[in-house]
Chains A and B, each alone.
Chain A
Amino acid sequence: MSTENKTSANPVIVERTIDAPVEIVWQAITDKDRMKEWYFNLEDFRPEVGFEFRFPGQGRKGESYLHICKVTEVIPLRKLTYSWNYQGYEGMSKVTFELTEESNRTKLKLTHQGLETFPKHPDFSPESFMEGWTGLIGTSLKNYLEK
């Protein structure tokens, strides 16, 4: 049926080729001191199955959404999966990073599944988290790198 891709609950898939060896990209997604430079500031992160971590996001009206995540799969330098949920809200999603090395560059594939299970009202939107975080990351990243 041609309307299949319009109506089926597809995951979000984002692919990038990064001009760096796989070890660098793996570090970027698993080392908390590197993660805070582009992703989220975590108290701690360990790429180990069962490791739980939390971080806040801010909604459009300044309300706080706590992300609650738990690592479910680790293949070092190849794959990292964790659950991605919001405290106090229904729904469960899963984020998977997959890395493949190709002549000193890394193909990164991100799959985010289960988004259709989250509440849909406009305040609860990743866009509002993004406004908060990209601003923060843009400024702090700039400052960090230009030291």
Chain B
Amino acid sequence: MRRDAFQAIADPTRREIIALLSKEALNLNTVAENFEISRPAISKHIKMLTECGLVEIEKRGRERYCTAKLEPLNEVAHWVQQYRRFWEGKFDAMENYISKLQAKDQKNPQ
């Protein structure tokens, strides 16, 4: 299974965890308290997020603090942007083509 930003954001709970942590670092228990699903389930999600590079865990005394690392999300934005540019380019070409077609029709009315 892939371990990248795309994989990370595919799940809605993980998206919520990232949103939560992007505001402040929280210890694992506090994160779990924000959700109705079980603690082990939250731990699994956080594990996936660390494997995907979006969350880092550091030990502070006996607690484990989770920090969001948002840089990998730029990868998602950049990659999706490429498709946007691709389509914008195609539609530029379509508009050009159509306006030339219509200019031709005006020159040679049928």
Interface of B is mostly: helix
- Known contacts A14-B84, A16-B91, A141-B93; A116 and B98 CB within 8 A of each other: no
Output the least CB separation between B35 and chain A (Å).
Answer: 13
Total A-B Cβ pairs within 8 A:
106
Cα-based distance from A2 to B89 in the complex (angstroms): 30
Interface residue tally of chain A, by bracket? 35 or more
Neighbour of B79 across the interface among A2, A16, A125, A141, CB < 8 A: A125
- Report, nearest first, the 9 A-B pairs whose CB atoms are least far apart: A1-B19, A38-B93, A126-B86, A38-B97, A7-B15, A38-B94, A3-B19, A145-B100, A14-B87
Closest to A122 in B: B79
A16 contacts across to B, CB distance below 8 A:
91, 95
Size of interface on B: residues with Cβ below 8 Å to A? 38
Cα-based distance from A1 to B18 in the complex (angstroms): 10
Query: Which residue numbers of A lie inside 8 Å of B, CB to CB?
Result: 1-4, 6-10, 12, 14, 16, 18-20, 24-25, 28-29, 34, 37-39, 108, 110, 112, 115-116, 120, 125-127, 129-130, 134, 137-138, 141, 145
